[in-house]
Structures are given as C-alpha cells and as structure tokens.
Amino acid sequence: MKSITFVSPCGMLGYGYPLESLESAMACKPDFIGVDSGSTDPGPFYLGTGKSFVHPLQLRRDLLPLLQASRQVGIPLIIGTAGGSGSNKNLDFFLDILLQAAKENDLHFKLAVIRSEIEKLVVHNALEEDRISPCGFSGPLSASAITETNRIVGQMGTDPIIAALERGADVVVAGRCCDTAIFSALPIMRGFDPAMSLHAAKIGECGTLCATPAGANDTLICTINQDSFHVVPANPDRSCTPETVAAHSLYEQPNPNCFYEPEGKIDLSDCDFTADDRRGVTVRGTRLVSPDKQTVKLEGTALRGYRAITIAGIRDEKCIENIDVIEANVRQAVQQNVRSTIKEDEYSLRFIRYGLDGVMGKLERSTNKPHEIGLLIEAIAPSQELANMIVGLTRSTCLHQHFPGRKTTAGNLAFPFSPSDFQGGEVWEFSVYHLMEVQDLDSLFPVTFKEI
C-alpha cells in the first residue's frame, strides 16, 4: 500500500468535462472515480421541490462515460449528493437516469444507495434534548421551524460510504454528502492518513478549480501517499501551482487555516505546497484534530409563498429623480386596492432598482445618478394567483403613477415584453441549517444494495 489515486472529472456532475481529460486520467490507472452531484449554492428551491438544477440530459452526458470507464477497469464510482440536494426525490431522479444509462449500455455492477433524508421527529427529539446548535449564522432552531419544514437531509461523512464499499459496492450513489467524504472514504478505508485524505478530497472535489486556468469543468488527478498528496490536472493546458492550490483552500470557506468535517477539524496552518516540473503540486503538513462529539449537519427548507415578477426600464430623468416617491405611492395605492382580497402582512412587494441600488439595496453608498433604471417588481403571496394579481396591479399602477414635476404623462415604464409579467413559482427558504449531535450515525444513513 504505497499510494492511492483518484480521478475527479469535474466540480459538479452536469457542469461538463472534456472526454479527452477523462481518458488521460484513466491512463494513470486510478483506484476510484468520485464526483459531486449537488450543492446548496443555487439556493433552497431545489431541496424544497426535490428538483434537479442540472438538466437530466446533461447529467446523463457526464455520468455515462464515468460509468463506462469505471466498469471497464473495475474500480468504484462514488457519487455524492446525487440529483442536486440529496433528498429521496433527488436521489430517485438520479437513479432513474443511472439505471436507464446502464441498461442501454449493458453495464452491470453492484449498486449501493445511501439515503440521507431525516425524519422530522428525529430532529424534534434532538431539539428537546438540546442536541441542536446553529451552523454559521443560522440562529437558534425552534420547534415551529422544524414543523413548517417540508424535508430535512443530513450531510453524511465517510462512514456510510465506507460501509457501502466494504460490502463490495461498485457504484455508490449517496444522498446529501460532504464533498470530502466522496473522495476520502476509500483512502481512509484502505488505511491512508485521514488528514491527508480529507485535505486531498477538499482540493480535489471541484475538479480543476484549484488549477490555472481555473475551471470546475475539467479533470483533476489526485494521488495520496503516506504523508503527502499530489494533484495534477489531466488536461495539459492546465497547471496546478503552489499558489493556486493554496488559494483554493480559501474558496467558500469561512477560515482559510482550517475546515471542519464530521471526521474533525482539518488544520492547514502548517501546510507546505511544492511544485513539480510536470504541472503538479505536492501538499504536506495537514493535521486532523478529532472532534469532541459526533455531529451531523442538517439542511431543511420551508415554503414561503409564490412569486410573480415584472421587468421594466425607466429612462425619464424626472421619473428617476422621483423613484422613491413613486414607489411609496404605488405601494400605498396597491395596498388600498387589494385589502379586500389580501391583508398587507400576507404578501410582500419588492422594487429592485438595477442601476441605482439593485444589488446592494440599503447598503449602496454610491450617489451617482443613473440615466436609466432597470426596475424589477416582485410580489410574493400565499398563492400563485394572488402573486400574479398583485404584480399585475402594481405594474399598471406604477406605469401611470403621478409624481411631482411629471412630464411622462403617457406612462413611466418601458416594458420589453408582452406579456410583461412572469410567474416565478414556489419561493423557498432554508429553515434548518444546523448541527445535530448524534450517537448512532448508521441509522441516519441506511445503505441498500442491488445487483444491476
């Protein structure tokens, strides 16, 4: 047991990767292929609805070559956060694509499926027993927040994946999963240093995002040795340098000197990054500090209503000057108009003013006066019909709203489209983003097997 090599084809299944890169990576005789298939990055909608944020055709395009390559040489393929957010619905959507691709291409393997949806009762009990704490700035969790949550997933670490691999799984499809678990499970199972394995996994999980030119859409080859690991892009047009690999530790992390996984705190403060002459970098000096208690990160979502929007340009200078007055008067007129149908606290109306303060809102400090504003009006209401009605009324009111010194008496807004309003559908919010202390991890992440 000298080293173990894995291939990370891309940062996310469905982001694409060159097939030539996979081919070169496979020539290095890897021990397994790992790939992440989900994230909370695109927001709460995807866990809330169980829908995929990657198109099924693109998912299949990325998945099939990995399945074929791994079956051809008989190495495990490990897929984490399958289908987008790891809920049972996401997982089943993913399995449909996987099984259809396998059938059409006559591929056979032992499949392990690890589910990660957690019963709300388990979380209620943990809350009562004071085993829940906030994660980041999510604040304290309440029983009512759990009740209004539609589904909760737990982020698994390496243990359930190791359990699947120990029982001979060729393909592991995991629900919500720490990105590091995908790539460090097999190395840890084979006895490699967990600190090196977890750090290698952290660097490797985004494909070549740790290289230059950076990209989540290309393949990284990573080899873990006893006291170091080595990363190199499969594509000869990309290189890793000590700076790009070290800088990747900053990405999306609150603290560049360490990160936390279920296996413990991974301390990077004494890490050493050395370049070789073949576009690769070797990393040494990572340390692992075991945790005091075992925790699982929970993610849950609650439905907050339905969205409708309209988009319009404002070009008139007096209109731009009076935008605050217009907004206040439109809000008031709309409220008076709809109050027999819906109470003021049952809907929300938002004016996003691109060109003025659309991105930063009240925090915008620039006092530059724009010559035009892109106005996005959003209504969120308890039903799609109500949201449509409110945004429609707001649009027509705003179009004809009077203001001091008005010259544009035929209309204030330039609509690029007919119809001018759009349905945004369900609006979700992360209602649970907390750590739960647990004794028995295995029961949370059940593994099932099937011969395909």
Interface with another protein, residue 344, by CB under 8 A? no
Q: Which CB sits closer to another protein, 89 or 353?
A: 353
Interface mask toward another protein for 50-89; x: CB under 8 A: ----------------------------------------
CA 179 – CA 308 distance, rounded (Å):
35
Interface with another protein, residue 122, by CB under 8 A? no
Interface with another protein, residue 207, by CB under 8 A? no
Can you spell out the DSSP letters for 103-123? Answer: HHTT---EEEEE--B--HHHH
Residues ≥6 apart with Cβ < 8 Å to 75: 30, 31, 32, 33
Instruction: Please select the residue that binds another protein; options are 24, 294, 329, 348, rule is CB under 8 A.
Output: 348
Instruction: Please select the residue that binds another protein; options are 8, 21, 37, 40, rule is CB under 8 A.
Output: 40
Q: CA 117: distance to chain centroid? A: 16
Cα–Cα nearest to 185, from 246, 241, 136, 112: 112
Interface with another protein, residue 138, by CB under 8 A? yes
Q: What is the DSSP letter of 278?
A: S
Instruction: Give the range of 77-85, 95-103, 130-138, 408-416 binding another protein by CB under 8 A.
Output: 130-138
Interface with another protein, residue 129, by CB under 8 A? no
The answer to whether the beta carbons of residues 431 and 132 sit under 8 Å apart is no
Cα–Cα nearest to 218, from 203, 238, 198, 241: 238
Q: Which of residues 166-185 bind another protein (CB under 8 A)?
A: none
Q: In what order do the strands lie in the sheet with 287-289?
A: 258-261, 264-267, 287-289
Interface with another protein, residue 360, by CB under 8 A? yes
CA 149 – CA 428 distance, rounded (Å):
10
Instruction: Please select the residue that binds another protein; options are 56, 430, 437, 441, rule is CB under 8 A.
Output: 430
Interface with another protein, residue 146, by CB under 8 A? no
Q: Which of residues 231-250 bind another protein (CB under 8 A)?
A: 243-244, 246-250
CA 39 – CA 33 distance, rounded (Å):
19
Q: What is the DSSP letter of 28?
A: T
Tokens of 164: 């699947």
Instruction: Please select the residue that binds another protein; options are 30, 44, 84, 160, rule is CB under 8 A.
Output: 44
Instruction: Give the range of 100-108, 351-359, 384-392, 401-409 binding another protein by CB under 8 A.
Output: 351-359
Interface with another protein, residue 405, by CB under 8 A? no
**Number of shown-chain residues binding another protein (CB under 8 A):** 49
Q: Which CB sits closer to another protein, 251 or 417?
A: 251
Instruction: Please select the residue that binds another protein; options are 15, 17, 428, 445, rule is CB under 8 A.
Output: 428
Instruction: Give the range of 53-61, 63-71, 184-192, 206-214 binding another protein by CB under 8 A.
Output: 206-214
- Four-residue CA torsion sign, 151, 38, 94, 173: negative
Rg of the chain over CA atoms, in angstroms?
Answer: 26
Q: Return residues touching another protein (CB under 8 A).
A: 40-45, 135-138, 212-214, 243-244, 246-257, 271, 273, 304-305, 348, 350, 352, 358-366, 380, 427-430, 433
